[in-house]
Chain A
Amino acid sequence: MTDAALPNSAVAPAAPAAPAAPARRDFGLRRRHAAERRFRFYGLAAIVIGLGFLAVLLFSIVSKGYTSFVQTSITVPVEFSADIIDKDNKRATDPRVLVSANYPVVARNAVARALGISPDDKAAMRDVAKFVSDGSRATLRQIVLADPSVVGTTRPVTLLATADIDSANKGQIDLSVPEAKRKVSDQQLAWLDQLRQQGAISTPFNWGLLTFGASSRPETAGLGVALIGSLYMMGIVLLCALPIGVAASIYLEEFARKNRFTDFIEVNINNLAAVPSIVFGLLGLAVFINFFGLPRSAPIVGGFVLTLMTLPTIIIATRAALRAVPPSIRSAALGIGASKMQMVFDHVLPLATPGILTGTIIGLARALGETAPLLLIGMVAFVADAPATPLDPATALPVQIYMWSNEAERAFVERTSGAIIVLLAFLALMNIAAILLRRRFERRW
């Protein structure tokens, strides 16, 4: 210690020669602590505000949407009257009459009989007809086609209620509005009560919301086509974007020389990540539909467009993950004579996998919620039948939400929120999958 030899050193005031305690120096501790406390408070406030908004959002969606997961149904004994279904008794020779029979009248008569209304009361019958969804046509037809011997018999059948009756049953009709301006009359409400007392009204889980295709009647409208369309697109995005993105990143990060050209590519990839998604939609329209002649409204085109959109995200995440692998691992592999490819695939890539998977799933989640580019390639369409292949017309979850939000009926409002809940559930599932995959791969090291 050379300091000890210095006489009366300025940095050593507590020398034995100076018995008095040195004056306390002001380090500004009070100010520094106050600044830290303030900063912590700001951080906490930011988190509280963020969580507050999230809670408001979730509450608003769930409170509006949870009722869409149940659907009012009416279970009444239905008389499959031969007079209505097959007046001329031709079903043995011409089965087509069973297909085109007037099933809505059968359903209406069944409800009317349960309510004790005379079939001669034309006005009442018209009002009763508004109880049963037009979807009952398909329900009853299926029963008859499956077993033509039911014609002429009576058996209990569960029929979908119309959206108005469904809303009334869920208590969503404002009774303070004058009767003339309401969609459900006092008489119909009384009948609804009557049916409820008979135990004919039930509210089972609304599987139709997840299975039905597009429909102008809310009670038979569902997310089925949109779910299949979104699933196809996610599959295509995963199959195209992951290999291309990872291969591009590995080449750029591990093999390519750093020069002007690769710098240029890097700048462009970063710019692509910031391009508005609707531009990708225009590109898809011009390239995939107009130039390559792929069909409109098809999930395959949507998948390609979303692949283009997701690629930059995956490339950026993968390059970051590759860069985070310590260079010492690369040296170790090269040092014992591994080729560059062996180094990448045996050592670097396994270590980068959690990061790559996280980036990919975040990219997929973004693609799942993307609406604008799909509007441009015609995926905003009225598609009632489930697409069998990715080349058939379909819609996507966010597009379905967009279309339903444009509808006026009360029942579509709750279905819009219901569809948002479904979309959020899928996003949450994907994020949980990302976390689980990352944990699983990290445990191996």
Chain B
Amino acid sequence: MTTEAFATGPAAAPTPNAPPKMQGEKVCVFYGDKQALFDVDLKIEPFSVTSLIGPSGCGKSTFLRSLNRMNDTIDGCRVAGRISLDDDDIYDPSIDVVELRARVGMVFQKPNPFPKSIYENVAYGPRIHGIARNKADMDEIVHSSLRRAGLWNEVKDRLTEPGTGLSGGQQQRLCIARAIATRPEVLLMDEPCSALDPIATAVIEELIDELRENFTIVIVTHSMQQAARVSQKTAFFHLGKLIEEGRTEDIFTNPRNKQTQDYITGRIG
């Protein structure tokens, strides 16, 4: 496996005292007059997987989309508080949203490959950001991204075929390959497995665990088992508030909050 293209940081386990990769402080999000998030304080540790859980409409996706300013595309959406990437406020006017999204990539709930060839899907990000210097460079980026996403063996003979012709699980891995091809520092995943069958889900979960070496990952999931399997840190949202956050094993074995306990044992949600 080629990994040198991804050696963007130490592949070591996070030290407890490392500064957070991303941090939300008193984050409030409004859709028009309706407030969707209330004073969320959350630290995203580098080179670990943070999962956001909670019932539908609790604001976990809203928080995730605030992390790379995808909420900007929604008319009437307003974010208050401070969200920082490496201690830089990402809502500061001096930050270009294009650069932010190149550093904080995203994988969506529904696989959404471009209706172009598999190669073009992966090459698009590096091309617009000018990452590859020449064709050989680009080939290397595309191939290693597909390998990282565990898709290489399945598509290496049909890189010119449309990405939309792949199966659902393959499409989602193609989207992951596309996201990591721009070498982001943080990877946001919004329920990446909700449209997939259990086998494809297992493949992607394994992949997330591997990607943790090089990327900081934030994942929204509806599956408590998934959160328990893939994440080191878990945050529980309810009705727009961050109820509890902590190490995943603590949240699932020994929740401090009654609501969290009710949710993870299936009594609410």
Contact = CB atoms under 8 A, between A and B. Distances in A.
Contacts, number: 69
B70 A336 contact: no
A332 B128 contact: no
Given A257-B75, A258-B75, A346-B124, A337 B112 contact: no
Interface stretch (B102-110, B132-140, B231-239): B102-110
Interface in B190-224: none
Nearest to B69: A334
B65 to A, nearest CB: 9
Contact of A335 (B101, B162, B164): B101
B73 A330 contact: yes
Interface residues of B, number: 29
Interface stretch (B10-18, B147-155, B174-182): B174-182
Interface in A274-292: none
A337 B99 CA distance: 7
B164 A338 contact: no
B101 A336 contact: yes
Contacts of A334: 70, 73, 101
A336 B182 contact: yes
B108 A331 contact: yes
Interface string B144-186: 0000000000000000001010000000000100110110000
B68 interface: yes
Contacts of A258: 75
Secondary structure dominating the interface of A? helix
Name the interface size band of chain A: 20 to 34
Contacts of B57: none
A264 interface: no
A152 B114 CA distance: 79
Nearest to B100: A337
Contacts of B181: 336
A149 interface: no
Given A336-B101, A351-B115, 17 more contacts: A329-B114, A331-B70, A331-B106, A331-B108, A332-B108, A332-B112, A332-B114, A333-B114, A335-B105, A335-B107, A336-B182, A337-B98, A337-B99, A337-B100, A337-B128, A339-B128, A346-B128
17 contacts: A257-B75, A326-B112, A331-B70, A331-B106, A332-B112, A332-B114, A334-B70, A334-B73, A335-B179, A336-B178, A337-B98, A337-B102, A337-B105, A338-B98, A338-B124, A342-B128, A351-B115
